[in-house]
Amino acid sequence: MDVSDSVERNARPEILVIGAGIAGIAAALRIRALNDSCGITLADAAARLGGKIAGDVVDGCVVDGGADVCIGSKLRATSLFAALSLGARVIRVNPDNLPTYESRDGELCKSPTTFHGELLTFREGVRELVDVACAALSDVTVRTNAVAESIQRTDDERWITHFADGTSLLADATIVAVPARAAMTLLSSLAVPAAKTLEEVAYPATTTVTMAWDADDVQSSLAGTGYLVMEPSSAVSACTWTSSKNPTHAPRGIVLVRGYVRGCGLDAVSLVRAEVASTLGVTAPPLFTRVYEWPAGIPVYPPDHDRNVSALGDALAAVPGIFIAGSTFHGIGIPDCIHSGECAGESAVTYLAARQIEEAA
Ligand SMILES: Cc1cc2nc3c(=O)[nH]c(=O)nc-3n(C[C@H](O)[C@H](O)[C@H](O)COP(=O)(O)OP(=O)(O)OC[C@H]3O[C@@H](n4cnc5c(N)ncnc54)[C@H](O)[C@@H]3O)c2cc1C
């Protein structure tokens, strides 16, 4: 018996996108823009969409839990930028061209490495990008709490994805847009040995702690975007002076600061409070605190990552209908993830069209 016999068959061609971070969301949007009739399912292991993009607005303060900027030139080059009319929503980061600092032995000095391009964010933080993109998903079946465990090829070259809850989904094409370990598991289930190299992608844990103070409690002028801590042994790796870097992210009279702590499960709040007390002299209790833990944070690629991904791409050419996207493979920046999702979406649509012509012949 063909394995697909036990799975409900859809009347229309189906594309499954596994992973609803910004790469998977961008893939789904691109597929729908190019093909208004195929079925699209966007499945994610988590309870919410957006993956490493998360945030909140607290008492009028914008709290980015993960990413807080996008490289403007790259974001503008994505299809998503025009399709979602993002131009009207973006705001320029660091409009006052403030310097960034480095902390060495507790002393702040101006950083010699300054990014000269345009950095963008959104009025309600980078999470707004996910909110707007998700609102634009049209006729897309979204499944949350859906942990994909394996993918299996059917006799007629379709793909069945098996989920941890015992359900399965049959698709004509499948896009894998998940972090490296999960991608390795899924691609290995398809007998793609080149996927083994994904094991070498590291994911250091990070915690971000955002705190707000009444400006009267902060004597320092905070005339900068923040600083990087140069000692690798320091528990706090960086501090962003959010209300200076993005003045629209905090109401007048409120100072917003975000600290990056290496690792998770630590007393990150105390660590950041101690850091802020020592560099800015702020000892008053914050008005509020928000903590985001990223047990597997920003991917760090091995030196031969590009070669590994290229070899993986070659291997996947022999597995028609399976595509890859996202920060595991093609760059960690949000616009890179969007671009990669869009490319995978386009490839899946092209594949579907070629297949339909073949089947009709
Ligand atoms: C603290 C922090 C700060 C950052 N700052 C910036 C910044 O300022 N600018 C910038 O451009 N980038 C920044 N980044 C990086 C950027 O946010 C990420 O690289 C990008 O959002 C990753 O998108 P993605 O779609 O590739 O993957 P993810 O966002 O990791 O999404 C992958 C999705 O796959 C799901 N998944 C995992 N396993 C499975 C499975 N088995 N089945 C189904 N679903 C699964 C996950 O739940 C997740 O939703 C930052 C990241 C962090 C953590």
Residue 55 beta carbon below 6 angstroms from any ligand 1 atom: no
**Main-chain dihedrals φ then ψ at residue 46, nearest 5 degrees:** -85, 170
- Does the pLDDT at position 1 exceed 50? no
How does the average pLDDT of the chain come out, rounded?
95
pLDDT value of position 44: 98
Q: How many CB atoms lie within 10 A of CB 353?
A: 14
Least confident of 54-58, 106-110, 169-173, 254-258: 106-110
Residue 21 beta carbon below 6 angstroms from any ligand 1 atom: yes
Atom 12 of ligand 1, residue of closest alpha carbon: 333
Q: Give the chain's end-to-end CA distance (angstroms, integer).
A: 26
CATH topology of domain 69-123+204-294: Polyamine Oxidase; Chain A, domain 2 (3.90.660)
Residue 51 beta carbon below 6 angstroms from any ligand 1 atom: yes
Atom 50 of ligand 1, residue of closest alpha carbon: 67
> pLDDT tens across 253-307, in order?
999 999 999 999 999 999 999 999 999 999 999 999 999 999 999 999 999 999 9
Q: Which two tokens stand for residue 287?
A: 């008005």
Average pLDDT over residues 339-361: 94
CA of 358 to the centre of ligand 1 (A): 36
Atom 1 of ligand 1, residue of closest alpha carbon: 66
Q: How far apart are CA 294 and CA 224, in angstroms?
A: 26
Average pLDDT over residues 14-30: 98
**Could you tell me if 345 and 28 are in contact, meaning their C-beta atoms sit under 8 angstroms apart?**
yes
Atom 48 of ligand 1, residue of closest alpha carbon: 51
Most confident range (mean pLDDT) of 7-16, 109-118, 350-359 is: 350-359
When pLDDT is cut at 50, 70 and 90, the band that residue 114 belongs to is: confident
Answer yes or no: CATH 3.50.50.60 is held by domain 3-51+131-199+302-360: yes
**Could you tell me if 260 and 206 are in contact, meaning their C-beta atoms sit under 8 angstroms apart?**
yes
Residue 37 per-residue DSSP state:
S
Residue 296 beta carbon below 6 angstroms from any ligand 1 atom: no
| Atom from ligand 1 closest to the CA of residue 336 | 11
**Could you tell me if 70 and 114 are in contact, meaning their C-beta atoms sit under 8 angstroms apart?**
no
- Does the pLDDT at position 6 exceed 90? no
Atom 27 of ligand 1, residue of closest alpha carbon: 21
Q: Which two tokens stand for residue 325?
A: 């996207």
Where, residue-wise, is CATH 3.90.660.20 in the chain? 69-123+204-294
Cβ-based neighbours of 284, under 8 Å, separated by 6 or more: 213, 214, 217
When pLDDT is cut at 50, 70 and 90, the band that residue 174 belongs to is: very high
> Residues of the chain with pLDDT > 90: what percent?
91
When pLDDT is cut at 50, 70 and 90, the band that residue 3 belongs to is: low
Nearest Cα to 335, choosing from 161, 134, 121, 181? Answer: 121
**Could you tell me if 131 and 122 are in contact, meaning their C-beta atoms sit under 8 angstroms apart?**
no
3 state DSSP class of 209: strand
- Does the pLDDT at position 171 exceed 50? yes
pLDDT value of position 116: 82
3 state DSSP class of 328: coil
Atom 10 of ligand 1, residue of closest alpha carbon: 333
Q: How far apart are CA 337 and CA 63, in angstroms?
A: 22
pTM: predicted TM-score of the whole model, two decimal places: 0.96
Where, residue-wise, is CATH 3.50.50.60 in the chain? 3-51+131-199+302-360
CA distances from 18 to 122, 300, 304, 334 (A): 26, 22, 26, 18
**Could you tell me if 138 and 34 are in contact, meaning their C-beta atoms sit under 8 angstroms apart?**
no
Q: Which of 178, 246, 272, 305 to mutate to test the pocket of ligand 1 (most atoms within 8 A of CB)?
A: 178
